[in-house]
Amino acid sequence: MKQKALFKVQAGPGAEYLETDIPKPGDNELLVEIKAAAICGTDVHIFDWTPYAQARIKPPMIFGHEFCGEVKEVGGGNGLFKSGDLIAGETHIPCGICYQCRTGNQHICEKMSILGVHCQGVFSKYAVIPQICAWKLPPGTDPGIGCIYEPFGVAGHGLFLSPTVGNTAAVFGCGPIGLFGIGILKAGGASQIFSVEPNGYRLGMAKEMGSTHLINPLETDVKSAIDGATKGMGVDIFVDFSGDPEAIKKGFSVLRKGGNAILIGLPSQPIALDLPNDIIYKEAKVLGYTGRHMFETWYKTSRLIEGGLVDVTKIITHKFQMAEYTKAFSLIRSGKCGKVILIP
């Protein structure tokens, strides 16, 4: 049996939509029919063949990791899943035996593999995934919504562990994950949400998700604007989704004394911080987060999305047939979109 899949065929920019065999599941694996797959920033790195991708990807391989699909075949296992189940996918594949895995931190496993990065991904009609990576969705879930549980959880992982009720927050970077973060802050009772983003299209989306203050750093002095709105105190929570060195520095400058800095964006270079004034004298709590806690983050993600507390449909702006992948990647580079989804 054959299928079409989006391959990173060789080193260099681009990808190819090619015919390939439908895989068979082994022990503790699931064969999944992909209903929808969202494009992540990681996938853009792979498509463009940036240094990030060059250090991690070994072509040829199918990429993509954010998906919703229906279980078609179960390769043994614990009986949790059956044919016909609708699932979303956890990206991290833990070893299960290292110190981190055995102490409740599978998402930072010492021998971590990542779906669609270190092994075959889900930009295809059918894919095989480890059962440990499957999250059962309610029957009838819109696949477009199901495939964004994973990136929603990236935003939630850090924010779920920081007090938000009545607190002020500054969000730097309003890409899809930053927009999810704004929705989570709003649902969590944040009193003021400052969105800092140079892309006007995404600032508009930030307002839709619940931001109370929109700041374009190309037009407005960020610190002056936030100091003015907080009576010089600064914000209780600074969250960086951008990975931009200047944004991170600016974020620390607007954080109040004793506040929480949540770092999720990935800088491409080292950053020099003013440690005495930005962290030490402020007694700032600096927290780095990656991925999702398996599976506490997923339970909370499900409650927020399925309970209607965060309307993620506002962030899903475009859908393409997977064969139209070049249009989808071009649109993402333009910045005039939210979450972009591919349909096999």
- Which residues carry out catalysis? 42, 45
| Burial annotation 317-339 (CB, 10 A radius, 16+ → b, else e) | bbbbebeebeebbebbeeeebbb
Could you give the count of Cα atoms lying within 13 Å of 223 in the half-sphere of its Cβ? 11
Which stretch of DSSP H or E encloses residue 165? Answer: none
Q: Return phi, psi of residue 247, to 5°.
A: -65, -40
d(CA 261, CA 236): 9
- From the list 161, 17, 136, the residue with the least C-alpha distance to 82 is 136
Two structure tokens written together for 167: 């607190």
Going through the chain in order, the beta strands assigned E by DSSP cover 2-8, 16-21, 29-38, 61-62, 66-75, 86-89, 92-93, 113-114, 126-130, 134-136, 168-172, 192-196, 213-215, 235-240, 255-263, 285-288, 316-321, 339-343
In what helix (H) or strand (E) does residue 158 lie, and over which residues does it extend?
helix 149-159
Residues 6+ apart with CB under 8 A from 116: 42, 43, 62, 63, 64, 65, 91, 122, 123
Residue 231: what residue type? K
Furthest-apart CA atoms within the chain: distance in Å: 65
Q: How far is CA 166 from CA 122, 125, 237, 263, in A?
A: 40, 45, 11, 21
